[in-house]
Amino acid sequence: MVTIEVWCSPLGGFPRNRVLRKTLRDYEKGLISYEELEKVLVSSSLVVLGVQISAGMRYVTDGLLDWHDLFRPFVSAWRNVTPTNLLRYFDNNFFYRIPLFTGKPEASSYVWAPRVRRYIAFTEPAEIKVVIPGPVTFAYMSKNSAGISQEELASSIADLLASEVKLAVEAGASMVQIDEPILSDPDISPDAGMLAAELVSRIARSAGSSKTVLALYYGTPQPGVYDKVLESKVTCVSVDIGDSPSSSLKLVKAKGFGSHCAVLGLVNARTIYDDPLDTLVEIATEILRNYDGSEVGITTTTWLDLIPYEYSISKLRNLRILANKLLSKLGYTETSGWGS
């Protein structure tokens, strides 16, 4: 019997519950103070942590319930960048405010270290994960009026994110997830993949001994781009399998995961409908048949904040059920120590 670590973790943020949504509206209308909002926000975040832990997730986030989009917390924490007009976020019924860079960005505060310190005491026996935007996705989805090239902007962003990660890890984060969904865009060139691999590797070095995951989602990257992704110096590569099973299966069977651990985005976070777990087990089995890594992560296809709160909870259950089915199917012995 093969001994392998199999762990579960949702990819990113969660939807807001009904009470938090109302509280945010009241705050925006000036009906309550920030202190009142923060009290509800912290309580809601602790509930999300508890839901993940009780579902057997190995790596958990605080839910990112106060994040309006992937970029906004960092835009708010940096100088020389501001949020502007709304734009559709990939092909989702969801919008983000386009960051406008008017100069080389500089940090005025940090996003993750205070959050890790606030919540880490409540994550046991799981471990806390931080999520950051990839520098290429950040730069390519922004307006650049900084007077520097797109590549220079991405490099500047990477430097700030590396500092962000270093502080988060020092505060106790065990995993750093770097989201580069732009690399799954069919029009993205291998050169962009090469730039991402270089900059993500720079960020990963600041994580020390904590695990790092390069996450790709909203489709399947082109083979030439994926080749460059595999050159990145991260612990794991996460691929969206459930969104386009046939193309993603073809890609990872042909290319594998290189020297990285495999993280499979199997549970579909863009639909409220139940997942075909037995079919997903067969797909994962095909991917892992010749896999010789020492660990496998099971995750969602994207963040859970695209669906209503109650459905996000059922998706967590599906992650754990799927992992157990996969363990049984492949004859693995789980060594993760949590959630079996």
Q: What is the pLDDT of residues 114-171, one digit of tens each?
A: 999 999 999 999 999 999 999 999 999 999 999 999 999 999 999 999 999 999 999 9
Q: Which two tokens stand for residue 161?
A: 């994110």
Decide: 302 and 326 in contact? Cβ < 8 Å: no
* Contact by Cβ (8 Å): 20, 41: yes
* Residue 93, pLDDT score: 83
CA distance 188 to 193: 8
pLDDT beyond 50 at 329? yes
Rounded percentage of the chain residues whose pLDDT exceeds 70? 97
User: Would you say 192 and 225 are in contact if contact means Cβ atoms under 8 Å apart?
Assistant: yes
Torsions phi, psi of 65, nearest 5?
-70, -20
pTM of the model: 0.95
pLDDT of residue 290: 84
Angle between helix 245-255 and helix 277-288 axes, rounded to 10 deg: 20
Amino acid 1: pLDDT: 54
In 3D, which of 169, 139, 24 has the Cα closest to residue 71?
139
Whether the per-residue pLDDT at 2 is higher than 80: the answer is: no
Domain boundaries, the chain: 2-334
The yes or no reply on domain 2-334 and CATH 3.30.300.30 is no
Q: Are strands 78-88 and 95-107 parallel, antiparallel or unpaired?
A: antiparallel
Report residue 5's pLDDT band, with 50, 70 and 90 as the boundaries.
confident
Percent of the chain at pLDDT exceeding 90 = 90
What beta strand segments (E) does 169-276 contain?
175-179, 211-216, 236-240, 261-267
Comparing CA positions, the residue from 250, 339, 266 lying closest to residue 302 is 266
Residue 286: phi and psi, rounded to 5, are -60, -45
pLDDT of 333: 60
Which pLDDT band holds residue 289 (cuts at 50, 70, 90)? confident
Q: How far, in Å, CA of 104 to CA of 90, rounded?
A: 26
- Give 242's pLDDT tier (boundaries 50, 70, 90): very high
pLDDT digits (tens, 9 = 90+) for 69-113: 999 999 999 999 999 999 999 988 889 999 999 999 999 999 999
The Cα 225–Cα 19 span in angstroms is 42
- Amino acid identity for residue 275 in this structure: D
Question: What pLDDT is attached to residue 336?
Answer: 52
User: pLDDT-based confidence at 49, cuts 50/70/90?
Assistant: very high
Q: What is the mean pLDDT of the chain?
A: 94
| Residue 327: pLDDT over 90 | no
Separation between Cα atoms, residue 163 and residue 283, nearest integer Å: 38
pLDDT of residue 337: 43
